[in-house]
Amino acid sequence: MAGLRGGLTMETIFATDAGDSGVNEDSVVAGADFAVVLDGATAEPDTDTGCVHGVRWFARQLTGALARRLALDASAARPLADVLHDALDAVGRSHADTCDLTNLCSPSATAAILRHRDRHADYLVLGDSPIVLEADDGTVSTVADDRLARYTGTWADMRHSRNVPGGFWVAGNNPAAAGHALVGTVPVAGLRRAALLTDGVTRLVERYDWSWRDLVSALDETGPAEVISLTRQAERRTPHGRFVGKRHDDATAALCRFAGDRGSGVHRD
């Protein structure tokens, strides 16, 4: 049956919500055996990106390109970094005639991918959209790419540090960035659930004293949409100026459950 691998099923639920701008530059998609969450990088103010489409378009095009590849049975034999590389290359070629892909400010996104394959779960994280894994015994581990967090300087500093050796890596106009993602594989046996998150949701941990276990449990017990609602409530209670950055960021959460006797499927919460 679809989604049944090695005697276990993977079920995914997700939700997403726009932040202050009202334009959601996050993107999420799931299939029977995979989940993808992207966080489109906000464009630098008053700067020519070289792209006529914009960040939202890029994130959705990349999500679609990834989903088409991950849905193929043959993709299970390919490393996730290769799948991301090919998807980035395809998106790049699709607008190379209309846009300047050499522009340092060309649209980009973080990427979090989880794939259920045989008796294993493969993961990929590129940029600050982590994946949280919870084992049956309650042990929680987080796959997080902190390279972007090291840069707190000007837009120009970030621009010249993006997708270069010694800098930080994101999914953008250089498919080779996929080779710098954090990747790994864990046995599905003993894996209870996994969460893929953008930083609009992880601020519950980073700003509001939640633990990763609290967050994953809430996603499972109340659903991703309610967790995003709780995030918005916490943000509204926060005095202006307490934190740097957007008051309400785009927020996306996907929860993947693993079970031996549960039907599989994909549900938008």
Which residue type sits at 144? A
Question: What is the reported pLDDT for 152?
Answer: 66
Q: What average pLDDT does this structure show over 196-213?
A: 97
In angstroms, the CA 7 to CA 78 distance is 21
**Residue 1 pLDDT more than 60?**
no
Q: Could you tell me the fold of the domain covering 4-268?
A: Phosphatase 2c; domain 1 (3.60.40)
pLDDT at 88 over 60: yes
Give pLDDT, residue 30: 98
The neighbour count for residue 208, using CB atoms within 10 Å, is: 15
The single-letter code of the amino acid at 3 is G
**pLDDT range class, residue 262, cuts 50, 70, 90:** very low
Q: How confident is the model at residue 118 (pLDDT cuts 50, 70, 90)?
A: confident
249: tokens are 């960021």
Q: Kindly indicate the confidence band of residue 268, based on its pLDDT and cuts at 50, 70 and 90.
A: low
**pLDDT value for 31:** 97
* pLDDT: which is higher, 137 or 47: 137
Does residue 72 carry a pLDDT above 80? yes
Of 213, 30, 72, 183, which Cα lies nearest the Cα of 121? Answer: 183
With a CB cutoff of 8 Å and minimum separation 6, the contacts of 72 are: none
Q: 127: buried, middle or exposed (CB in 10 Å: 19+, 13-18, 0-12)?
A: buried
- Provide the pLDDT for residue 97: 95
pLDDT for res 75? 81
Q: Is the pLDDT of residue 172 over 80?
A: yes
- Residue 85 is encoded by which pair of tokens? 């590389």
State the pTM of this model.
Answer: 0.93
pLDDT band for 2, please (50, 70, 90 cuts): very low
Query: Given this model, what pLDDT does residue 6 score?
Result: 55
Domain locations along the chain: 4-268
Query: Residue range 26-39: average pLDDT?
Result: 98
Confidence band for 263, pLDDT divided at 50, 70 and 90? very low
Instruction: Determine contact, residues 75/147, Cβ cutoff 8 Å.
Output: no
Task: Say which amino acid occupies 89.
Answer: D
Interatomic CA distance for residues 247 and 116, integer angstroms? 35
The arithmetic mean of pLDDT across residues 146-171, rounded, is: 83
Q: How far is CA 212 from CA 74, 143, 242, in A?
A: 34, 11, 22
